[in-house]
Amino acid sequence: MPQLKLNYFDFHGGRAEPVRLALHIGGIAFEDHRFTFPEFAEFRKTTPFGQVPTLEVDGLHLTQCDAMLRYAGKLAGLYPTDPLQALLCDEVAYVVEEASVRIGPTFRMTGEEQKAARLALVNGSMPVYLAWLQARLLAQGGEYFADNRLTVADLKVFVDVRGLNSGRLDHIPTDLVERVAPALNAHANRIASLPAVQAYYAGFAGK
């Protein structure tokens, strides 16, 4: 097994969280290197594009979160071997990532500028993405997004929905997912109740 080191901010969420979960669920050993936002200014100098997450595999420094997630999924047995199911898995992951790219610039905004930008997403693209994800989930039976089992696509959506519901995103209503795509909330609750997921978050209790 390769030596793995995952580098990302010290919080539950964002682009590295599905990778962390996949590796944990699969029992894959890795160094979970976390840092604060002020510490990132120095760490980013070591990254290929000045951004995170990055994954070090036997010392090789790699970038692109969905590539990392697919790799982690393969190591953990959470990525389909059937080409069509793999395509369905990737499609979902890329849709979530596209939505993340749209909200990303708002984290560099403050005040009324941020409020206006996020409300534009709430009233524009966010419901479109959420409704599509719900339709895709229901088309696959309503429990998983691909392969009739847990895959990294489920983890990617779970982390995204968890973030939208958290209240940590100013100007994003915490009931947005429930109003637009309640099946995604039911899905997130199922993923959260998995013993391996509960064990992962229990490990951070009190921290």
Mean pLDDT, the chain, integer? 96
160-169, pLDDT tens digit by residue?
Answer: 999 999 999 9
pLDDT tens for 6-42 read 999 999 999 999 999 999 999 999 999 999 999 999 9
User: What pTM was computed for the model?
Assistant: 0.96
Rounded to 10 degrees, the C-alpha dihedral 65/66/72/73 comes to: 160
At residue 203, φ and ψ (nearest 5 deg) are -65, -15
Judge whether residue 64 has pLDDT over 80: yes
| pLDDT higher than threshold 70 for residue 207 | no
Give the C-alpha separation, 26 to 179, whole Å.
33
The Cα–Cα gap between 160 and 96 comes to 7
The CA-atom distances, in angstroms, between 1 and each of 4, 27, 29, 43, 67 are 9, 11, 9, 26, 18
Q: What is the mean pLDDT of residues 35-61?
A: 95
Residues 95-120 pLDDT 10s: 999 999 999 999 999 999 999 999 99
163 contacts 86 by C-beta, under 8 angstroms: no
Q: Residue 121: pLDDT band by 50, 70, 90 thresholds?
A: very high
